[in-house]
Chains A and B, each alone.
Chain A
Amino acid sequence: MQNDVVLTMRGICKSFPGVRALHNVDFTLRSGEVHALMGENGAGKSTLIKVLTGVYGKDAGQIAIEGKEVAIRSPQDAQASGISTVYQEITLCPNLTVAENMFIGRDKSALVPWKEMERKAGELLRSLDIPARPKQQLSSCSLAVQQMIAIARAVDQHCKVLVLDEPTSSLDDNEVAMLFKLMRDLKSRGVGIVFVTHFLGQVYEISDRITVLRNGELVGEYKVEELPQLDLVSKMMGKELDDLSAISVSGKETGAKGETVYEAKGLSSAACPNPFDFHIAKGEVNGFTGLLGSGRSESVRAIFGADRVTGGSVTMNGQSVKVQKPIDAMRKGIAYLSEDRKDDGIIADLSVRENIILALQVMKGFGKPISQADAEAFADEYIKALEIKTASTDTPIKSLSGGNQQKVILARWLLTHPQYLILDEPTRGIDVGTKTEIQRLVLKLSSEGMSVTFISSEIEEMLRTCSRLIVMRDRHIVGELTGDALTQDNVMRTIAGGGN
Chain B
Amino acid sequence: MKKKNGFFARNAQLIVPLLSILALIVFNLFRDPSFFSISLSVNNSGNTVLTGNLISILNGASELAVLAMGMTLVTAASGGQDISVGALAAIAGSVFVKVLRAGEITPVTVVVAFLLCCVVAMIFGVFNGTLVAVFKIQPMIATLVLYTCGRSIAYWINGGASPTVASPILTAIGSFIPGVPIPTPILIVALCGVIFALVFRFTTLRLYTQAVGINQRAARLNGINAVGIKILAFMILGICCAVSGCIAVARLGYLNHETVLLEIEMDAILAVAIGGNALGGGRFKMAGSVLGAYAIQTLTTTLYAMRVPSTAVKSYKAIVIILIVVIGSPMVKEAFGRMVGRIKAARADGKEAA
Task: Say if the beta carbon of A155 comes within 8 Å of chain B.
Answer: no
Do A391 and B3 touch across chains, with their CB atoms under 8 A apart? yes
In the bound assembly, the distance between CA atoms of A365 and B3 in angstroms comes to 30
In the bound assembly, the distance between CA atoms of A348 and B283 in angstroms comes to 10
Indicate whether A349 sits within 8 Å of B282 (C-beta atoms), given known contacts A330-B223, A367-B203.
yes
In the bound assembly, the distance between CA atoms of A72 and B210 in angstroms comes to 37
Do B282 and A369 touch across chains, with their CB atoms under 8 A apart? no
Task: Say if the beta carbon of A346 comes within 8 Å of chain B.
Answer: yes
Do A343 and B218 touch across chains, with their CB atoms under 8 A apart? yes
Most chain A C-beta atoms within 10 Å of own C-beta, residue among B3, B201, B217, B221: B221
Task: Say if the beta carbon of A82 comes within 8 Å of chain B.
Answer: no
Most chain A C-beta atoms within 10 Å of own C-beta, residue among B207, B211, B223, B283: B223
Do B202 and A350 touch across chains, with their CB atoms under 8 A apart? no
Q: Which residues of B contact A348 (CB under 8 A)?
A: 214-215
Which of A2-10, A271-279, A353-361 makes up part of the contact surface? Answer: A353-361
Q: Which residues of A contact B282 (CB under 8 A)?
A: 349
**Size of interface on A: residues with Cβ below 8 Å to B:** 34
In the bound assembly, the distance between CA atoms of A304 and B208 in angstroms comes to 20
Q: Which residues of B contact A116 (CB under 8 A)?
A: none
Task: Say if the beta carbon of A394 comes within 8 Å of chain B.
Answer: yes
Q: Which residues of B contact A358 (CB under 8 A)?
A: 207, 211, 222
Tell me the residues in window 197-230 of chain B with beta carbons closer than 8 Å to chain A beta carbons: 201-205, 207-208, 210-211, 214-215, 217-225
State how many angstroms separate the Cβ of B324 from the closest Cβ of chain A. 23
Q: Which residues of B contact A393 (CB under 8 A)?
A: 2
Q: Which residues of B contact A380 (CB under 8 A)?
A: 2
Q: Which residues of B contact A350 (CB under 8 A)?
A: 207, 210-211, 214, 283
> Which residue of chain A lies nearest to B3 when distances are taken between CB atoms in the complex?
A392
In the bound assembly, the distance between CA atoms of A338 and B218 in angstroms comes to 9
A448-477: CB near B (< 8 Å → 1, else 0) gives 000000000000000000000000000000
Partner of B4, one of A344, A368, A394: A394
Q: Which residues of A contact B5 (CB under 8 A)?
A: 392, 394
Q: Which residues of A contact B222 (CB under 8 A)?
A: 326, 330, 358-359, 362, 412
Task: Say if the beta carbon of A345 comes within 8 Å of chain B.
Answer: yes
Q: Interface size class for chain B? A: 20 to 34
Q: Which residues of B contact A391 (CB under 8 A)?
A: 1, 3
Q: Which residues of A contact B160 (CB under 8 A)?
A: none
Q: Which residues of A contact B223 (CB under 8 A)?
A: 325-327, 330, 359, 362-363
Do A361 and B207 touch across chains, with their CB atoms under 8 A apart? yes
> Which residue of chain B lies nearest to A370 when distances are taken between CB atoms in the complex?
B204
Partner of B224, one of A344, A346, A362, A394: A362
Tell me the residues in window 68-123 of chain A with beta carbons closer than 8 Å to chain B beta carbons: none
Q: Which residues of A contact B168 (CB under 8 A)?
A: none
State how many angstroms separate the Cβ of A67 from the closest Cβ of chain B. 31
Indicate whether A338 sits within 8 Å of B214 (C-beta atoms), given known contacts A17-B341, A361-B207, A394-B4.
no
In the bound assembly, the distance between CA atoms of A336 and B218 in angstroms comes to 11
Task: Say if the beta carbon of A438 comes within 8 Å of chain B.
Answer: no
State how many angstroms separate the Cβ of B197 from the closest Cβ of chain A. 13
A1-34: CB near B (< 8 Å → 1, else 0) gives 0000000000000000100000000000000000
Q: Which residues of A contact B208 (CB under 8 A)?
A: 362, 366
Task: Say if the beta carbon of A149 comes within 8 Å of chain B.
Answer: no
Task: Say if the beta carbon of A347 comes within 8 Å of chain B.
Answer: yes
In the bound assembly, the distance between CA atoms of A346 and B3 in angstroms comes to 22
> Which residue of chain A lies nearest to B211 when distances are taken between CB atoms in the complex?
A347
Task: Say if the beta carbon of A161 comes within 8 Å of chain B.
Answer: no
In the bound assembly, the distance between CA atoms of A306 and B215 in angstroms comes to 15
State how many angstroms separate the Cβ of A453 from the closest Cβ of chain B. 16
In the bound assembly, the distance between CA atoms of A343 and B205 in angstroms comes to 22
Q: Which residues of B contact A349 (CB under 8 A)?
A: 210, 214, 282-283
In the bound assembly, the distance between CA atoms of A348 and B219 in angstroms comes to 11
In the bound assembly, the distance between CA atoms of A143 and B297 in angstroms comes to 52
Q: Which residues of B contact A346 (CB under 8 A)?
A: 215, 218
Partner of A344, one of B201, B203, B217, B225: B217
Tell me the residues in window 313-365 of chain A with beta carbons closer than 8 Å to chain B beta carbons: 325-327, 330, 336, 338, 343-350, 354, 358-359, 361-363, 365
Do A347 and B210 touch across chains, with their CB atoms under 8 A apart? yes
Q: Which residues of B contact A363 (CB under 8 A)?
A: 223
Do B221 and A338 touch across chains, with their CB atoms under 8 A apart? yes
Do B211 and A369 touch across chains, with their CB atoms under 8 A apart? no
> Which residue of chain A lies nearest to B219 when distances are taken between CB atoms in the complex?
A347
Q: Which residues of B contact A343 (CB under 8 A)?
A: 215, 217-218
In the bound assembly, the distance between CA atoms of A350 and B204 in angstroms comes to 14
State how many angstroms separate the Cβ of A392 from the closest Cβ of chain B. 5
Q: Which residues of B contact A369 (CB under 8 A)?
A: 201-204, 207
In the bound assembly, the distance between CA atoms of A378 and B33 in angstroms comes to 54
In the bound assembly, the distance between CA atoms of A350 and B221 in angstroms comes to 16
Most chain A C-beta atoms within 10 Å of own C-beta, residue among B4, B207, B210: B207
State how many angstroms separate the Cβ of A419 from the closest Cβ of chain B. 16
State how many angstroms separate the Cβ of B211 from the closest Cβ of chain A. 5
In the bound assembly, the distance between CA atoms of A470 and B203 in angstroms comes to 42
> Which residue of chain B lies nearest to A369 when distances are taken between CB atoms in the complex?
B204
Do B221 and A306 touch across chains, with their CB atoms under 8 A apart? yes
> Which residue of chain A lies nearest to B228 when distances are taken between CB atoms in the complex?
A366
In the bound assembly, the distance between CA atoms of A189 and B272 in angstroms comes to 55
In the bound assembly, the distance between CA atoms of A338 and B202 in angstroms comes to 30
In the bound assembly, the distance between CA atoms of A306 and B220 in angstroms comes to 8
In the bound assembly, the distance between CA atoms of A365 and B202 in angstroms comes to 11
Indicate whether A336 sits within 8 Å of B221 (C-beta atoms), given known contacts A350-B283, A358-B207.
yes
State how many angstroms separate the Cβ of B112 from the closest Cβ of chain A. 28
Tell me the residues in window 366-402 of chain A with beta carbons closer than 8 Å to chain B beta carbons: 366-369, 380, 391-394
Partner of A326, one of B4, B214, B220, B341: B220
In the bound assembly, the distance between CA atoms of A392 and B5 in angstroms comes to 8
Q: Which residues of B contact A347 (CB under 8 A)?
A: 210-211, 214-215, 218-219
In the bound assembly, the distance between CA atoms of A177 and B218 in angstroms comes to 33
> Which residue of chain B lies nearest to A365 when distances are taken between CB atoms in the complex?
B204
B342-354: CB near A (< 8 Å → 1, else 0) gives 0000000000000
> Top 6 A-B pairs ranked by shortest CB distance?
A327-B223, A362-B223, A326-B223, A369-B204, A347-B214, A330-B223
9 A-B contacts (beta carbon < 8 Å): A326-B222, A343-B215, A346-B215, A347-B214, A358-B222, A367-B204, A369-B204, A392-B2, A412-B222
Give residues in A with beta carbon < 8 Å to B.
Answer: 17, 304, 306, 325-327, 330, 336, 338, 343-350, 354, 358-359, 361-363, 365-369, 380, 391-394, 412
Give residues in B with beta carbon < 8 Å to A.
Answer: 1-5, 10, 201-205, 207-208, 210-211, 214-215, 217-225, 282-283, 341
New A-B contacts (7) at CB < 8 Å, excluding given A367-B202, A369-B204, A391-B1 = A330-B222, A346-B218, A349-B210, A349-B214, A350-B207, A358-B222, A391-B3
